[in-house]
């Protein structure tokens, strides 16, 4: 469940549940999801107080003071909360964090792609710089001039470029298709073929779509159980993702789907035309 709006929705739910709570015990049943040293991870987390839960791009940040627990949900990671004495059996529960208020924070991940690691808080900026995570998709952080400069110098196709997180943080496969539909840009368009005006519209669409999705609590698509904070309704407002064959809301042309850089890609063949080369 992991694009920025879903992660932000989880963050808000978690923050209220765990802020001020101390981790009194923890158990990890799937060691490979811990990217930093496992022994250090356990030793350094125990007895730590979670001051707040923040977010950067699609990463959740549990602020512990000197250290920060970074959690990435990847495809199917979820955080759940149970009374410590009442945790159901589930073969996809991989991490258990007992809190001082009698609750246990449980990490569930069907596909086991999600990751956790503990980093020194003063190294957080380096962590995201190393991963080339771009600015947050906000009016203040997401600079138009920088964006235009990056696109004007690139031969990359716009959708895969937007997905690599370096231009702007937080877009995933659902919202990138929505953004390109809104901005009327073909997903395979070459970045430097976009006019300055188009790039400005694209930036506006990124900010608008992600803000709207956060407002509606993200999208709940293939999620079965409603994980923490995942009762989103943004799926009711999607225009192209999962709408193959249905009429475009703007022009009525059936939405098409093709594969681009390994990802299912939805677009309107009339509204989103490739530029003639």
Partner DNA sequence: CGGGATGTTGAGCA
Partner DNA sequence: GTGCTCAACATCCC
Of 45-53, 60-68, 136-144, 220-228, which part binds DNA (CB under 7 A)? 220-228
Among 12, 96, 160, 208, binds DNA (CB under 7 A): 160
Which residue bears the tokens 């063949």? 269
Question: For DNA, which is the closer residue by CB, 6 or 189?
Answer: 6
Q: For this structure, is 3 an active site residue? A: yes
Q: For this structure, is 198 an active site residue? A: no
Shortest distance in whole angstroms from residue 2 CB to DNA: 4
- Strand ranges (DSSP E) for 16-143? 23-28, 52-56, 59-63, 67-72, 77-83, 93-99, 103-109, 115-120
* 56 beta partners: 59
Closest by CA to 239, choosing from 260, 213, 261, 217, is 213
245 binds DNA (CB under 7 A): no
Size of the site for DNA (CB under 7 A): 40
SS3 content of the chain, % helix, strand, coil (to 5): 30, 25, 45
Range 137-163 burial, b when 16+ CB lie within 10 A, else e? beeeebeeeebbebbeeeebbbbbbbb
Tokens of 220: 């709940």
Of 18-26, 214-222, 246-254, 268-276, which part binds DNA (CB under 7 A)? 214-222
2 binds DNA (CB under 7 A): yes
Write the CB contacts of 58 (distance below 8 Å, at least 6 apart in sequence): 2, 3, 4, 7, 72, 73, 165, 169, 170, 172
163 binds DNA (CB under 7 A): yes
Among 200, 263, 269, 270, binds DNA (CB under 7 A): 263
Closest by CA to 99, choosing from 33, 32, 14, 6, is 14
Among 24, 146, 223, 239, binds DNA (CB under 7 A): 223
Of 42-50, 116-124, 193-201, 257-265, which part binds DNA (CB under 7 A)? 257-265
Q: Which of 11, 58, 203, 243 is catalytic?
A: 58
Among 65, 102, 254, 264, binds DNA (CB under 7 A): 264
- Cβ burial of 58 (10 Å; 0-12, 13-18, 19+) is buried
Shortest distance in whole angstroms from residue 92 CB to DNA: 7
Please, where are the H alpha helices in 83-237? Answer: 124-130, 144-152, 158-163, 173-182, 196-215
Q: For this structure, is 184 an active site residue? A: no
Q: For this structure, is 2 an active site residue? A: yes
Shortest distance in whole angstroms from residue 98 CB to DNA: 25
75 binds DNA (CB under 7 A): yes
Question: For DNA, which is the closer residue by CB, 11 or 156?
Answer: 156
Q: Which residues are catalytic?
A: 2-3, 58, 263
Which positions lie near DNA, rule CB under 7 A?
1-3, 6, 32, 57-58, 72, 74-75, 91-92, 110-113, 131, 154-157, 160, 163, 165, 172-174, 218-223, 230, 232, 259, 261-264
């Amino acid at each position: 469940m992991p694009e920025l709006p879903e992660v932000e929705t989880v963050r808000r739910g978690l923050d209220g549940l765990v802020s001020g709570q101390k981790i009194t015990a923890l158990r990890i049943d799937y060691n490979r999801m811990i990217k930093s040293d496992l022994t250090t991870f356990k030793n350094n987390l125990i007895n730590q107080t979670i001051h707040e839960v923040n977010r950067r791009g699609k990463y959740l940040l549990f602020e512990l003071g000197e250290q920060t627990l970074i959690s990435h949900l990847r495809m199917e990671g979820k955080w759940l909360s149970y009374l410590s004495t009442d945790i159901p059996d589930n073969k996809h529960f991989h991490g258990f964090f007992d809190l001082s208020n009698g609750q246990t924070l449980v990490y569930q991940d069907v596909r086991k792609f999600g990751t956790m690691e503990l980093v020194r808080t003063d190294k957080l900026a380096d962590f995201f710089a190393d991963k080339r995570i771009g600015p947050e998709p906000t009016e203040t952080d997401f600079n138009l001039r920088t964006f235009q400069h990056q696109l004007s110098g690139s031969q990359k196709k716009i959708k895969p470029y937007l997905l690599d997180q370096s231009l702007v943080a937080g877009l995933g496969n659902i919202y990138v298709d929505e953004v390109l539909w809104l901005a009327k840009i073909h997903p395979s368009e070459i970045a430097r073929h976009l006019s300055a005006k188009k790039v400005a519209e694209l930036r506006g669409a990124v900010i608008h779509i992600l803000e709207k999705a956060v407002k509606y609590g993200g999208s709940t698509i293939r999620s079965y159980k409603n994980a923490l904070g995942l009762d989103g309704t943004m799926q009711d407002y999607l225009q192209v993702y999962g709408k193959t064959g249905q009429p475009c809301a703007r022009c009525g042309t059936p939405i098409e789907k093709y594969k681009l850089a390994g990802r299912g890609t939805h677009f309107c063949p009339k509204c989103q035309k490739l530029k003639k080369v």
